[in-house]
Amino acid sequence: MSLSAYLDDVRGLVLDEIQALVPTGRFRPVLYDLMLDYPMRESKMLRPALCIAACAGLGGRIESVLRTAAVLELYHNAFLVHDDIEDGSELRRGKPTLHRAHGIPVAINVGDAMLALALRPLLDNMKELGLGTAIQVMEHVARMAKESAEGQALELAWVRDNDWTHDDNAYLHMVWKKTGWYTFMTPVLIGATVAGLDRRRAAHLRRFASLLGMGFQIQDDVLNLVGDADAYGKEIAGDLHEGKHTLILVHALKRCSAADRARAVEILGLPREQKTDADVAWLLDLTHVTGAIDSAAEVARTAALSAARILAEATYLPASAHRGFLEALVEYVVVRDR
Amino acid sequence: MSLSAYLDDVRGLVLDEIQALVPTGRFRPVLYDLMLDYPMRESKMLRPALCIAACAGLGGRIESVLRTAAVLELYHNAFLVHDDIEDGSELRRGKPTLHRAHGIPVAINVGDAMLALALRPLLDNMKELGLGTAIQVMEHVARMAKESAEGQALELAWVRDNDWTHDDNAYLHMVWKKTGWYTFMTPVLIGATVAGLDRRRAAHLRRFASLLGMGFQIQDDVLNLVGDADAYGKEIAGDLHEGKHTLILVHALKRCSAADRARAVEILGLPREQKTDADVAWLLDLTHVTGAIDSAAEVARTAALSAARILAEATYLPASAHRGFLEALVEYVVVRDR
């Protein structure tokens, strides 16, 4: 089964579950339809897919983890709604962002409601999973909340202060917290918990997820600068326009001259609309001539290969379409269109 | 013990607890200090006080409900941070709002983090309260999240559409959901649950809290229009500048001529900065000449007197400083500076 076929299957299941989670009735038009807006748009649903793959791959029932997988997707979409306000984005998945369509007050409230309402289905888990497992799942969500809030806070402080003094380790630690826990480790850990995997093996599988996440994020940033716009679906070098903190820029700024570094930091600190195309072209050139794109891609590749090695050790995870999905994700990072 | 002395005592306990809930370490400056900013500013802490008064008044230990009381206050402050962005407010409790001081992206994230991190202490409740009680507390929080999100969504939709077609019942239902559950019913129910009050009596006490909340909110809106600015601490008629939906305006719009109604709705729909002082003075006059301020105040007084009657029936709540606080709150609504 191909990566996209697996993701499509998950998407169908998760969309049904999300719709079942959301109340019907008179608050539909003012609140719940808006909560459903982003999830119903085209998306990969990577987090629920990881959650389901880990659970089902370990012998758990898909139905038993589906509600939590849907909660993770709702959570994620809540943050997307708020991120779009924070970034002043106009479009999300090809349509106007929620705050463009309904105003910032409504969009902030919809995101808050999605976060706050996640508690209900996590409590309902108790009936089907039993108390112990349902509580462990909530513990995972609480850990995810803490790690990703801290990672996001760190990155926002760098952006606010136009601070580019962090080295590789500081940058990777931020990604580990912000992306690693949120998108990779927590979904996999929840799947493992629902399937009843023991703690030692769950920690092993968490290392796989952590390395896969690292590789995935860095590769994503590489593709933003070198990818074919059609294949990737976003504007080329959008990250440079935005001034996003990436391993590529950390590498480029470490290697360039002091004068170039000063100029780069000055450009990166400009608001998006004040960066000229020439500024961005110059930054893009800097990432090429310093070899930063290649070296960052190499870090992504190394992380993915380490993830592959750990997955190869995971004999507790028998061959199946679910394990195949995890293997295909690793492969995707290693060989993705470059 | 006076109302303010009780609130001061609660404030000291809750501030210590909030500080204990918030992690120390390197994420303090980028995240946790910002989470503490609003709670550390001067405030009434009405929600924790209701929670503690219900629990301790019913014979529960204050220590057993303190963590949850602190969570309610954190939750509330998260919404204040987001409300200030939604309303474009410059000041909160006499100091710059969080988004003025740190930018909108950081402020949205701090509010999100406060909401998301509330799960951790609710899970920690299990150790001290036992599984059953801790889960019931989470059920109360989940209900509060749903009711207040729906109430807030309804009000935001009215604001977005400049919709003034709702009657008394529709307005009061919105307040019941948005303010009643969030500020009054949930804190009291959590206190009752931790103290071990049975369901029937808890439902009785919830009716008290519901009526008190109704009276409190309407009286607050009355005082915004007629209060002495120094005594109340906010600009006079700020609600009219803001175009806030109040029972007073519902009454005024029902009673005035069609022409006045059309003019009032037009003014109310203007952005705050486009409303002239003459516009607001005209609106204020309309609320007086239609008798809307008096009739709304009468609704508040009637609700508070009903709350007093229910509290008088509550023989399961023996005389104490805690019961005295609840009685003083009712009294406050009935006789508050007018």
Task: Provide, as residue numbers in chain B, all residues whose Cβ is less than 8 Å from the Cβ of A87.
Answer: 105
Q: CA A228, CA A323: separation in Å to the nearest integer? A: 30
With an 8 Å Cβ cutoff, is A102 touching chain B? yes
Annotate B156-176 with b (16+ C-beta within 10 A) or e (fewer).
bbbbeeeebebeeeebbebbb
What residue type is A85 in one-letter code? I
Please give the C-alpha separations between residue A275 and each of A163, A269, A271, A279, B222, in angstroms, as whole numbers: 17, 9, 7, 6, 50
With an 8 Å Cβ cutoff, is A117 touching chain B? yes
| CA A262 to mean position of chain CA atoms | 31
Nearest by CB to residue B112, choosing from A119, A135, A149, is A149
The ranges assigned to domains in chain B are 3-335
Q: CA A40, CA A35: separation in Å to the nearest integer? A: 9
What residue type is A326 in one-letter code? L
Q: CA B242, CA B332: separation in Å to the nearest integer? A: 26
3-state secondary structure of B336: coil
Which are the contacts of A294, defined by CB distance < 8 A and separation ≥ 6?
A: none
* Residue A90 and residue A98 in contact, taking contact as beta carbons nearer than 8 Å: no
pLDDT tens for each residue of B172-184? 999 999 999 999 9
pLDDT tens for each residue of B283-292? 999 999 999 9
Q: CA A241, CA A276: separation in Å to the nearest integer? A: 9
Please give the C-alpha separations between residue B297 and each of A77, A187, B133, in angstroms, as whole numbers: 42, 52, 39
Q: How confident is the model at residue B270 (pLDDT cuts 50, 70, 90)?
A: very high
Q: CA B143, CA B153: separation in Å to the nearest integer? A: 15
What residue type is B1 in one-letter code? M
* Residue B237 and residue B228 in contact, taking contact as beta carbons nearer than 8 Å: no
What region, left, alpha or beta, does residue B243 occupy, with left being phi > 0 and alpha being psi -120 to 50 degrees? left
* Residue B155 and residue B174 in contact, taking contact as beta carbons nearer than 8 Å: yes
Q: Does position B68 have pLDDT exceeding 80, yes or no?
A: yes
Q: Please provide the distance, in angstroms rounded to a whole number, between the alpha carbons at the two ends of chain A.
A: 23
Q: CA A281, CA A151: separation in Å to the nearest integer? A: 29
Which are the contacts of B272, defined by CB distance < 8 A and separation ≥ 6?
A: B88, B241, B242, B243
Q: Which of residues 19-38 of B touch A (CB under 8 A)?
A: 23, 27, 29-31, 34
* Position with higher pLDDT, B73 vs A226: B73
Q: CA A154, CA A179: separation in Å to the nearest integer? A: 12
Q: How confident is the model at residue B320 (pLDDT cuts 50, 70, 90)?
A: very high
With an 8 Å Cβ cutoff, is A112 touching chain B? yes
pLDDT tens for each residue of A15-29? 999 999 988 888 999
State both tokens at B38. 């609003």
Torsion A104-A107-A109-A112 (CA) sign: negative
Q: What is the CATH number of domain B3-335?
A: 1.10.600.10
With an 8 Å Cβ cutoff, is B72 touching chain A? no
* Contact: B106, A146; criterion CB under 8 Å: no
DSSP code, position A272: G
pLDDT, residue A338, reads 44
ipTM value of the model?
0.89
Average pLDDT over residues B46-52: 97
Backbone φ and ψ of A92, nearest 5°: -135, 120
Please give the residue of chain B at the shortest CA–CA distance from A149: B113
Task: Provide, as residue numbers in chain A, all residues whose Cβ is less than 8 Å from the Cβ of B123.
Answer: 135, 138-139, 142
Residue B255: is it exposed, middle or buried by C-beta count within 10 angstroms (0-12/13-18/19+)?
middle
Residue A324: is it exposed, middle or buried by C-beta count within 10 angstroms (0-12/13-18/19+)?
middle
With an 8 Å Cβ cutoff, is B91 touching chain A? no
* Contact: B106, A79; criterion CB under 8 Å: no
Angle between helices A131-161 and A168-175 (to 10 degrees): 140
pLDDT tens for each residue of A55-89? 999 999 999 999 999 999 999 999 999 999 988 88
With an 8 Å Cβ cutoff, is B103 touching chain A? yes
Q: Does position A242 have pLDDT exceeding 90, yes or no?
A: no
* Contact: A149, B31; criterion CB under 8 Å: yes
pLDDT, residue B338, reads 45
* Contact: B142, A119; criterion CB under 8 Å: yes
* Contact: A119, B109; criterion CB under 8 Å: no
* Residue A169 and residue A299 in contact, taking contact as beta carbons nearer than 8 Å: no
Torsion A295-A298-A300-A303 (CA) sign: negative
Task: Provide, as residue numbers in chain B, all residues whose Cβ is less than 8 Å from the Cβ of A123.
Answer: 135, 138-139, 142
CA dihedral B74, B75, B76, B79 (to 10 degrees): 120
